[in-house]
Amino acid sequence: MRRARLVEIEWPEFGSAAEPPAWRVSREEYAARLARLRERMQERRLTHFAVYGDREHFANIQWLTGFDPRFEEALLLVDVEQKPLLLVGNECMNYAPAAPPVAAGDIRLERHPEFSLPDQPREGGRALGEVLREFGVDAHSRVGAAGWKPLAPAERLELPSFLADELRFAAGYENVRNETRLLIELRQQAAPQEIAFFEWTNTLASEGMKRVLRAVRPGMRDYDLLEEARYNGVPLGCHMTLKCGANRASLASARGERVERGGRFSCGICYWGANCCRCGWVAERAEDLPEGARAYVEEFAGPYFEAMGAWFGELKTGAAGGALWRAIHERLPREKFGVFLNPGHLIHFEEWLSAPAYEGSQERLRSGMVMQADVIPSHPVFYSSRMEDGYLLADAALQAELRRQFPGLMERCLRRREFLRGVLGLPIHDDVLPLSNLCGIVPPFLLRPEVVFALS
């Protein structure tokens, strides 16, 4: 097995897209997605499909329509024949037509006052029961309901009760089932336009992370460090996180703490389709660490980097998700490294779409999937290490299409891949395209960010 070592390098500059790519796909692509949903509905013998969304759980509706609820709720109703119906609250009536199929009239739009914010006007609009009857939902219907996550058994709906009750009253309790998994499966492969947007958001997140890490100095306040991210208004996939000083709670946001020499540090910057996370010690060398943690490189962060090398060796189209699980757990004993969550997951508009990497998984990795190298070790003394960035799985056909539509994107991805292979020694397969400008760079001592791990 190749061993981890520390090398001193200049962080590479890969650049970014000259203009922000538009994330919305074409009207024709939205129509194709609706057709695929209807095909799956017929396979599942479903007559209707109800997709719920809110600010946090918007991605299923957005994938089908291009519309994301701002701070309200929404419901999309689909059957196998008529135009879908999108129900939105008061303030989204003017926003929803920004979505191409809504603007084109391919999806009907209706105001449903109950989806509005508390104490807003409730006048007008039809009762949901009336809407469902008009849409053909009755005792002969079989309704698939999608909220955010699949639950078992399928009778457990992941919807607000006021929606679940109306659907079950209209169709019968046993005729409404949780079918969120169906939409997750449809969304696991990103379209070229989405890939271009995700590559751009990955560059935003990773360039922001570069500036944060390079700015780390003892005494700096966490709020001031996060200003280095230069947030530009692109939608967040989750809150930005930054922990230092006495702030050690997982996923904690900045709260006014100051960086301490010899202390722990972590930061995460997450946009739609991108999450860049790094953590380490505020130190120049092992001697700056607490005495019990001075073997951090040799006993913890180095073995983690070696295991990630094995993980990359398994990351390729056609591989089973269980191979990623084995690459980590056969090398990092849980009692020492504490890897509890899935060793890698898919990202899309939301930070976590699904995770084919689990013990015994036979789910196959496919072209178009965007995989987060999100493997989280944890130790009470050694703390943690992280090299979380996004990687696109792309077969020859998808790479050719990306080269045709977005030649600059392909050029950047290929240079990143060559850096990972040639400088850091990581075994990246030909069908893996790194999306982040910080890909593979792991400085264990943040006061010497030019010193990073590589495989010998």
- pLDDT tens digits, one per residue of 390-399: 999 999 999 9
Domain match, 245 and 138 both:
no
The whole-number average pLDDT for the span 341-362 is 97
Residue 454's pLDDT band, with cuts at 50, 70 and 90, is very high
Provide CB contacts within 8 A for 137, sequence distance 6+: 48, 77, 143, 167, 170, 171
- What's the one-letter identity of residue 15? G
Burial 398-432 (b: 16+ CB within 10 A, else e): bbeebeeebeebbebbeebbebbeeebbbbbbebb
Q: CATH code at 419?
A: 3.90.230.10
pLDDT value at 1 more than 80: no
Domain match, 276 and 305 both:
yes
Contacts for 306-311: CB closer than 8 Å, 24+ residues apart = 306/1, 306/2, 306/3, 306/4, 306/331, 306/455, 307/331, 307/332, 307/375, 308/373, 308/375, 308/387, 308/426, 309/2, 309/4, 309/425, 309/426, 309/427, 309/455, 310/1, 311/343, 311/344, 311/373, 311/375
The whole-number average pLDDT for the span 430-454 is 98
**Pairwise CA distance, residues 74 & 367, whole Å:** 31
Domain match, 101 and 147 both:
yes
SS3 456: coil
Give me the domain span that covers residue 93: 27-187
Number of domains in the chain: 2
Retrieve residue 173's tokens: 């309790």
pLDDT of residue 30: 96
- Chosen domain end from 152, 187, 222: 187
Calculate the average pLDDT of the chain: 96
pLDDT value at 453 more than 80: yes
If you count them, how many residues does the chain have? 456
pLDDT of residue 32: 97
Domain match, 208 and 320 both:
yes
Retrieve residue 456's tokens: 């010998």
| Residue corresponding to tokens 């698939």 | 144
Domain match, 310 and 168 both:
no
**Pairwise CA distance, residues 197 & 124, whole Å:** 38
- Chosen domain end from 187, 211, 241: 187
The whole-number average pLDDT for the span 24-52 is 96
**Pairwise CA distance, residues 420 & 12, whole Å:** 11
Domain match, 150 and 238 both:
no
Domain match, 253 and 284 both:
yes
pLDDT value at 310 more than 90: yes
CA dist 404 → 196, 201, 361, 397, 409 (Å): 12, 20, 34, 11, 10
Task: Report the percentage of the chain scoring pLDDT > 90.
Answer: 97
What is the C-alpha radius of gyration for the chain, rounded to an integer number of angstroms?
23
| 225-277 tens-digit pLDDT | 999 999 999 999 999 999 999 988 878 899 999 999 999 999 999 999 999 99
Do the Cβ atoms of 272 and 237 come closer than 8 Å?
yes
Domain match, 285 and 380 both:
yes
pLDDT of residue 251: 83
pLDDT of residue 195: 97
Among 85, 95, 33, 27, smallest CA distance to 64 is for: 33
pLDDT value at 357 more than 80: yes
Eight-class DSSP state of 101 = H
Do the Cβ atoms of 315 and 391 come closer than 8 Å?
yes
Domain match, 195 and 182 both:
no
Q: Which runs of consecutive H residues, i.e. helices, occur in 216-301? A: 222-226, 296
Retrieve residue 406's tokens: 């977005």
Give the H or E element holding residue 417: helix 407-422
| 162-215 tens-digit pLDDT | 999 999 999 999 999 999 999 999 999 999 999 999 999 999 999 999 999 999
Do the Cβ atoms of 324 and 335 come closer than 8 Å?
no
- Chosen domain end from 162, 187, 212: 187
The whole-number average pLDDT for the span 284-300 is 97
Largest CA-CA distance found in the chain, in angstroms, rounded: 72
pLDDT value at 73 more than 80: yes
Q: CATH code at 56?
A: 3.40.350.10
Q: What is the pTM of this model?
A: 0.96
Domain match, 303 and 399 both:
yes
Domain match, 109 and 211 both:
no
| 205-217 tens-digit pLDDT | 999 999 999 999 9
**Pairwise CA distance, residues 250 & 268, whole Å:** 11
Domain match, 195 and 183 both:
no
